[in-house]
Amino acid sequence: MDTMGADVTELVEAVKSGDSTADVEAIADHELPPEVTELVEEYERFDGTRDPFLWKWFHWLTPQFTFSFVPDEHVADARTAKMLAGVFITIVDDFLEKDHDRETFDEAVKIPHAEYEADTDREEVQTRQLELVREVWATLCDVLKRAPRSEEYFPLLRFDAEQATNAVHYSYLLDRYPELANTRELTVHESHNIMMFAYADIDLMFGPTFPRSDLATLRQMVWQAQMMARIGNWIATWEREVHEIDFSSGPVVHALESGLLDYDELERLRTDAAFRETVIEELRDAGVEAVFFEQWQRHYEELERLAADLSAIDATSYVEGMETVLQYFLRAKGRI
């Protein structure tokens, strides 16, 4: 999809001026794969704070960041695996972001590593939630067994899943030490929470013809795409996260670094709901989102350049898909 010519300004204006009702209704009616449905329903029984639309929205979008080297017969499994990886990181994120439960988080992050066993007998951990994380990961592994190159690329998935859980840990530290906030570390650490590397690993497992000689270039591409998705997520969620006392988003860190917000005001945000609304309005008026749209555009141009360097695969659909991902982040603002 290249209707916007990779011009983020035109893309944003098109989303603002267009009627996205049909898209939202189509996503609301979208059916999740059976391997996912029961696990999501179980998650909602003990949590229930996330709009069920989120899961359908994510699964709806997975074809946009699926590489074309995944053959048609494996696309459905690749989508399901990405969905399961997304559920995994969401629950792990909840342990720290929502529950401030370091003990359960510490056990959950062991699950992707076969040499460790998470201890579900410890009294201080959320046992059922931890068992669900184990079940989600086991189901993901079962789906990946159907991939022709699962064994070859599973070590990459483990590594990238660990980077994602480290991103959750970084956000937790940022909440405790707001003076830690800086754009460089936010980019290096927190961006991995969006899981684009893990999703690319899944494509590699399901891509029998991908040449490993292109792996380094592919990973560089994924870094650009991950930052584009991270920016889309920040723009779609930063206002809600301010209300939830989560200050780990790019717009808030940018506001701190640029003097639009100071640490005393950050502390006041924790206790003063009316002040939170005032600050959100002031940051909107200051154009904090425009800063990130400009960054998104630069990442897009670099993604395009890297895609042209791939020797044996066509990544055009992946590049163009990131435009659609941004569109749908904007359309889903307030619901994800």
List per-block mean pLDDT (blocks of 10 residues) for the chain, which spans 336 residues. 60 67 79 93 82 92 96 97 96 92 93 68 76 95 97 97 97 93 95 97 97 95 98 96 94 97 95 97 96 97 94 90 94 86
C-alpha distances (whole Å) from 207 to each of 71, 232, 282 are 7, 27, 47
pLDDT (0 to 100) of residue 48: 67
pLDDT (0 to 100) of residue 4: 42
Helix (H) or strand (E) holding 159: helix 150-176
pLDDT (0 to 100) of residue 2: 42
pLDDT (0 to 100) of residue 163: 97
Do 186 and 163 touch, CB atoms closer than 8 A? no
pLDDT (0 to 100) of residue 16: 65
pLDDT (0 to 100) of residue 335: 83
SS3 307: helix
Do 248 and 96 touch, CB atoms closer than 8 A? no
pLDDT (0 to 100) of residue 1: 35
Nearest CA to 66 out of 203, 221, 161 is that of: 203
Do 302 and 319 touch, CB atoms closer than 8 A? no
SS3 225: helix
